Amino acid sequence: MERENMNATDGCDAQVIRRASLFEMMSAKGVYRAVCTDRDGNVKWDEEYDNVVCTEGKNVALDAFLAGSSYTVVGPYMGLISSVSWSAVNAADTAAQINGSNAWKEAGGANAPTYTGNRKTCAWSAASAGAKALSAALSFAITSSGTIKGSFIIFSTSAVNTKDDTNGKLLSAGAFSGGDKVVDNGDTVNVSYSLSM
């Protein structure tokens, strides 16, 4: 007589995967783009470069976002960074130390190269997708030859558009990633900027 054996087993396994916590991080990231043309409109160089969003600028923005019942921005104003006494841009840089103990100096006034008029006033498009950009590039008409290293933006209640002025708060400072940029009398440097969070 043949005998057939069958061993039956049954098993069940369940696992619940739960996210321990929800973590979201916000950081401010800005990008500049500078395009230099000669007096005939020919492009000499074109560079997009990141910036340092400075601590004092972040502090003003956070106070306005989270504690201000009303806030009117003054500026913002954009300037160019000279190669004179150049070392680096840093998150700890301040407007009060423009041409002082920051490791860079402003172009246009006491430091070459010079350009017509004052620092340029930023005009913004409406914020979209977590970013705010200039509505148009700001134009610097160069009046003497020299080397620039990048650009910066100041703002806040005491900011003014006068070159070399140290009032206001430094929002951003950015240095060219591709090295020094030489400009000549008659060149135009057009700079755009976008800040995202």
Longest dimension (CA), the chain: 111
Distance CA 188, CA 39 (A): 7
- Measured between alpha carbons, how far is 58 from 53 in angstroms, rounded to an integer? 7
The secondary structure of 127-158 as a DSSP string is PBTTEEEBSS-EEEEB-S-EEEEEEEEEESTT
Annotate 50-112 with DSSP letters as a single string. Answer: E-EE-HHHHHHHHHHHHT-SS------EEEEEESTT-----TT--GGGTTTTSS-EESBSSSS
Tens of each residue's pLDDT in the chain, 197 residues? 555 554 555 555 666 555 555 555 668 899 999 999 999 999 999 999 999 999 999 998 888 888 876 677 899 999 999 999 999 999 999 999 999 999 999 999 999 999 999 999 999 999 999 999 999 999 999 999 999 999 999 999 899 999 999 999 999 999 999 999 999 999 999 999 999 98
Choose among 176, 152, 171: nearest CA to 99: 152
Paired tokens of 143: 């009046």
- Of the candidates 95, 82, 102, the one whose C-alpha atom is nearest the C-alpha of residue 183 is 82
Residue ranges of domains in the chain: 52-196
Q: What is the pLDDT of residue 71?
A: 74
DSSP 122: P
CB distance 181 to 148 below 8 Å: yes
pLDDT confidence of residue 157: 86
Nearest of 73, 82, 78 to residue 172 by alpha carbon: 78
CA distance 141 to 104: 21
**pLDDT reported for residue 112:** 96
What is the pTM assigned to this prediction?
A: 0.85
DSSP letter at 116?
S
User: What pLDDT, on the 0 to 100 scale, is given for residue 6?
Assistant: 47
